[in-house]
Structure 1
Amino acid sequence: MLVAAQSLGLRTPGYRADIAGRHSVTGDGRVRVDLPAGSHMARDIAHQRETVAMIEVTDLAPTPVRDRVRARGTLTGWLSPASIDRNAGDGQLVTVLDLATAELSTTGGTTTIDPIDFSTARPDPLAATEAELLCHLDHHHPHTVERLCRLVDPHRLHGVRMVRPLRLDRHGLVLRLELVNSDRDIRLRFPAPVRHPDQLGAQIEALLRQARRCRPPRAHW
């Protein structure tokens, strides 16, 4: 979520800033945030030396589904200045968040993530290109999506009006089944986890081979 986040906000006492594209995760599991050195938030952090802070990230589907929010994450901790980058325009204050708590909320509920687990996590190999790949699949290969629907239990397709690719990660592809008043998300698991983006084509083809052995669904959209 953090690697490809397009909706990312930072809150400190009295201030809020959009930090999408200004953030990264360091090797030791801290979140780095680069702030314009002349901003009110940056000056306050530099003066305080350490302040309580919250980062809110919203994971949005890149495809035009009805409800684009796939998940929400909340990171809280202590934000402190690390250095000033004089090479960026008028200068940037480099800050780091020492994580205290982290929560991830999805349609399945809310999960608390231990800071140690967060620090040892690594980005999904498809995270940086997921949006582009999903949009390409949705816009240029609708027949591929239709064939993959053969892998879905026919009973789950009853009443479906539209199917779009929703999520893509190392474990597989998630399809969003849109009904009149509700949605269903179905994960199609790859035979083996993807360890590098170059392996994605082979895993999609493996799913299509499985689909060819299934009878076409009766549902139409």
Structure 2
Amino acid sequence: MPRPAPPAAPSTAERVRNACAHAEHAVLAVPGMDPTPVSVHHMRQCGDAVIAVPATSAAKILTGDSDEHGAHGVLELTDHAPLPLREPVRTLVWLRGRVHAVPGPEQRTLADEVAAEHPHPELLDVGFGATLLRLVISSAVVADSTGAESVHNDELRRALPDPFCGMESAWLQHMHADHADIMARLARHLPARLRHGIVYPLAIDRYGLTLRIEGPHSDHDFRLPFGAPADSIETLSRAVLILAGCPLRSGLRGG
């Protein structure tokens, strides 16, 4: 039997994971309250998201007074491209579930657990100006230029961020700033109608590369899948060079 073709892009659950790992802006919405800014957010494999909000926020008061099942809440996360694009938002994610207060004695312990996986300076404020909450996720919706898709929490628990997620921003900035020749070669894959715009590297993962084309009147995103998923920095670099038609070059590395 022929082997199935390799995936051309991350699954919906992986896209949620990637966007959450990159997102720097997040707000928590609960019914009847103004959106609350979130200084730290971290999605865990156990199926919840740990978030830090101002200690005086209405969200803290509401969840502290809610019943044992918590309060309904939606965490909105915004993933921005690391390049100066005309439309900088790459992805929006909405995580829906129940918000629970974290008991005072457990705040620092949980903060330390989060810091072990997701070091963030704002975690130092937990117990002082910030309070941790837990959002037990029931479902998620991710939206980008291709549309919106939903995913159940069971799939999120099984998914992991892309292995190159942490280096993606540096790679995209490096390609944009230092490899105009590679970008010009990659642009040859675009349909003729898109070849007259300004081309940027929008996203990269183990399955492929996405380009953003800023045209005179509108923007378009175009996906270039690799022949096979990359499993190391070396194979990722080689996959990009093969797409560009120059596989014999020594390599392509971000800072």
- Taking structure 2 as the reference length, the TM-score comes to 0.72
Residue 39 of structure 1, CA deviation: 4.3
Matched with 1:29 is 47
1:74 paired to 2:94: yes
Larger helix percent: 2
Equivalent residue for 1:18, pick from 37, 49, 65:
37
Equivalent residue for 2:76, pick from 49, 53, 56:
56
AA partner of residue 167 (structure 1): A
Matched with 1:133 is 171
AA partner of residue 34 (structure 1): A
Cα distance 1:152–1:90, how it changes in 2: closer, same or farther (>3 A)? Answer: closer
Structure 1 CA distance for aligned equivalents of residues 125 and 91 of structure 2: 34
Matched with 1:183 is 219
Residue 45 of structure 1, CA deviation: 2.5
Deviations 1:8-58 (A, max 9, x none): 1112242423225x1111121211113344544334423336221110112
Residue 79 of structure 1, CA deviation: 0.8
Name the SS for the 2:87 alignment partner. coil
AA partner of residue 103 (structure 1): V
Equivalent residue for 1:208, pick from 232, 236, 244:
244
Cα distance 1:181–1:99, how it changes in 2: closer, same or farther (>3 A)? Answer: same
Name the SS for the 1:28 alignment partner. coil
Unaligned runs of 5+ in 1: 213-221
Structure 1 CA distance for aligned equivalents of residues 230 and 45 of structure 2: 22
Matched with 2:157 is 119
Deviations 1:92-115 (A, max 9, x none): 533211112321222222212112
Larger strand percent: 1
Residue 5 of structure 1, CA deviation: 0.5
Cα distance 1:38–1:84, how it changes in 2: closer, same or farther (>3 A)? Answer: farther
Name the SS for the 2:36 alignment partner. strand
Structure 2 CA distance for aligned equivalents of residues 89 and 196 of structure 1: 36
Cα distance 1:195–1:94, how it changes in 2: closer, same or farther (>3 A)? Answer: farther
The alignment yields a C-alpha RMSD, in angstroms, of 2.5
Alignment of 1:152-191 (within 5 A): 152-153=190-191, 155-158=192-195, 160-191=196-227
Structure 2 CA distance for aligned equivalents of residues 180 and 152 of structure 1: 16
Structure 2 CA distance for aligned equivalents of residues 185 and 107 of structure 1: 7
Unaligned runs of 5+ in 2: 1-18, 112-123, 249-255
Count, aligned residues: 209
- Taking structure 1 as the reference length, the TM-score comes to 0.82
Do the aligned residues in 2 keep the contact of 1:74 with 1:104 (CA within 8 Å)? Answer: yes
Name the SS for the 2:46 alignment partner. coil
Moved more, 50-59 or 202-211: 202-211
RCO higher in structure (CA 8 A, sep ≥6):
2
Do the aligned residues in 1 keep the contact of 2:238 with 2:247 (CA within 8 Å)? Answer: no
Do the aligned residues in 2 keep the contact of 1:33 with 1:94 (CA within 8 Å)? Answer: yes
AA partner of residue 173 (structure 1): L
Structure 2 CA distance for aligned equivalents of residues 10 and 196 of structure 1: 36
Deviations 1:123-171 (A, max 9, x none): 0112222122111111121121012222334x2345x231111111221
Matched with 2:11 is none
Matched with 1:84 is 107
